A and B are shown apart, each in its own frame.
Chain A
Amino acid sequence: MASLIGYYSLIFGSCISFFIIFFSVKNFRDSLIFDTKIVNFTFLQFIFVIVSFLGLIISFVNSDFSNETVFNHSHSTKPIFYKISGTWGNHEGSLLLWLLVLTLFILLFLLKSKEQNKQYKILTLLIQQIIISGFFIFLIKTSNPFNYIFPVPEEGMGLNPILQDPALAIHPPILYLGYVGSSIIFSSALAATSLNYISIEWAKHIKQWVLISWIFLTLGILLGSIWAYYELGWGGFWFWDPVENVSLMPWLALTALLHCILVLERKLVLTSWVVILSIATFTLSMCGTFLVRSGILNSVHTFANDPKRGLFILIFLFCLIFLSLFIFIFFHKVEKKSIRNFFWLSKETSILINNWFMMYFLSVVLVGTTYPIFLEVISSDKISVGPPFYNKLIIPFLIPFLFTMAIGPKLKWIKSDLQSKTYLILFLIISFLLSVFIIKNITTSFLMNSVLLTSAFYLFFITLRDFFNKKTKNLSQNISHFGFSLLILSILFNNIFSTEVITNLKIGETYQSKNLNIYFESIDQKDKQNFKSIKGTFNIESNNGDIETLKPELRLYNQPNIVTSEADIKTNLLKDRFLTMNLVPNQEYFNIRYQIKPFMIWIWLSVLLICLGGITSLFKKKYED
């Protein structure tokens, strides 16, 4: 029943698109006043999509297995929380969620931008409606979440247990808010270009949307990363896996855009660049969906997929890119008069440098992610690009990037000099000495590590000082940059000082090394709602006599038949102790991995700080130069 309502609601919702497009075009030509009918229709469309989405949720909650999506991804014994989150834990449901966010955002956009030009609003709405209709067709034609199966199966196939996790339950909605938020930037930038509406006022108005999607995208990536850390049991936070990369690429473009908007807010320069970045951000988000959904990617994250869907997104994507390039080339007018009052030592230059770096990082990630696909098409060689590629190309460039990040905000708009800034040099010396002191015992790549650490410390000290400096005007920028320095520092310490032990143990055995002993005491089996839990008890004795007990868990899910490991992590401010246990089928041995990861929690906290900077900026009315 709920499925049926959901399905018809989806159909009605798609029909509303025609009305919206019809009335918008009419209103665009005939009248000077914005027709409120359009807002009402947009609201109606949003309601239909939300009813459809609720219909799917209810089908999941009631375990209505006559619905194909529910049958494929749910099970009656699953806890209620995961029945709900299972709604978007699959292809069809996640696309419905994507559509929901699309309609929500355009509604908010119309309500939020009352004071904007009428034509601009309507054009934005029209472009957004093209995207929305595309997704409606995509959903209804290739991935209908409400397909009916008869005879009705007794029991569902179950949700992949690895997705049955709180962090991953909220990860997709948050990430989608970021992805889809960029659609508004895309539509609005194109509308503004074709109407020649790009101005300082436009920059101020669109900045809110850039900030919102940037914050959600950052949070979404963070959640995914935390999940990978404790659920996959690899004990890292970033693997340069293609699926991670496709979320990083729009983030890099969006971050570059965010910085450019700050310039555009003051002077009418870089307009074409802002438009290109807006187009790039959304295109990359769409590409992300395409690459993840098409099954092309050679990724450890990939789920089984249907190539037809990929083809549809690919065609749709090309249409959008074509449309945007068409608008950009034929409508974009460069403001002649205001171009050349650029000076080398100014904030604009440093933001431009930031953008260069961002684009460089972006192209590295893009090449690393897509090269294997191209090579396979061309030569049928199957390859993968591993972390060394990214480390080698990105890490050296982080050094100048961090220095620019520290000094850039110190410069004034238009033109400035660096007089009476002796503390800048003082901090540099302190950072260098501190870095050398910290890693003097590390023999491998001492030079690179020490310079990198110096630049990170430098940014850290300079931003830290600015918190206590009354002259600091841009608090949000300072928080984010401080967060970034903290992030790089924690990642560095984490990489340099992590230690791990991997071994296979039977119950009652002890692993011994000169630093620690791991004693596998016992296992304890329990039956839970939809899985059998095996909890191991391990006593870890370090060489100074401290004994710590860690209890990692193995979960043997019944439907589908999958084993997952739940790491036991003891976190404190200085380090995480991380123990996972894996099952070796038909053997008495368990595969054990024990890791000591310093400053792990600071990686998460610093990303939150970076977000906090964005949030402060969003709630601050305006700041003076």
Chain B
Amino acid sequence: MYGRKVKLRFFFILLILITLTLSVYLILKSLEENVIYFQSPSEIKLLSEIEKKKIRVGGMVKNDSILIDTKEVKFIVTDLKNEINVIYSGVLPNLFAEGKGVVAEGYLKDRSLFLATKILAKHDENYMPPEVKAALEEK
């Protein structure tokens, strides 16, 4: 005959286990859906199919490639090997300039056109996002 205490403790442990499994499941599931992959223009060239997932593209803004009007900004991101056109309407960080590193977040239209929803800011003119650095070094 088990006492009330033991039953209570058993119930308690069960509750903790259920909560744990549930949270681990939720976290992993959500990670799968909401993770944003980083790709360089060269990697995009090699893609077999265009997914509808949000990705990040990084590299250098090509010289003399910025075109701007009231609605949007167009520019070319290059990793000095391959390049991709980017169309963006939104806030531009102050460190956004030709010949500087850039990371854009958004969706691929096709292998040569990227529709950006966000351009990421950096704090430091010496700082190069690690992925961009790696992408540039891979050339």
Contacts and interface: CB of A to CB of B under 8 A. Distances in A.
Contacts of A182: none
Interface residues of B, number: 45
A364 B36 CA distance: 17
A392 B23 CA distance: 12
A160 B124 contact: yes
Contact of B131 (A303, A382, A502, A593): A382
Interface string B19-30: 100010011001
Question: On chain A, which size bracket covers the interface?
Answer: 35 or more
Chain A facing B: main interface SS: mixed
Interface string B79-105: 000000000011111111110000001
A385 interface: yes
Main secondary structure of the interface of B (DSSP, over half): loop
B66 interface: yes
Interface string B117-129: 0001111111101
B91 A234 contact: yes
Given A298-B130, A585-B98, A385 B91 contact: no
Contacts of A384: 35-36, 38, 56
A322 interface: no
B34 A562 contact: no
A395 to B, nearest CB: 11
Given A300-B120, A383-B36, A371 B31 contact: yes
A206 to B, nearest CB: 26
Contacts of A503: 70-71
B68 A389 contact: no
A589 B69 CA distance: 7
Given A160-B123, A300-B120, A388-B33, 6 more contacts: A233-B91, A298-B129, A302-B123, A304-B127, A392-B34, A589-B70
Interface of B: 5, 19, 23, 26-27, 30-31, 33-38, 54, 56, 66, 68-73, 89-98, 105, 120-127, 129-131, 134
Interface of A: 160, 162, 232-234, 295, 298, 300-304, 340, 356, 360, 363-364, 367-368, 371-372, 381-386, 388-389, 392-393, 502-505, 509, 511, 554, 560-565, 580, 582-587, 589, 591, 593
Ordered nearest first, which 10 A-B pairs have the shortest CB separation? A389-B34, A382-B38, A563-B94, A591-B92, A585-B97, A388-B34, A382-B131, A589-B68, A383-B35, A582-B92
13 contacts: A233-B91, A298-B130, A300-B123, A304-B124, A360-B19, A371-B31, A382-B130, A384-B38, A385-B36, A392-B33, A393-B26, A502-B89, A589-B68
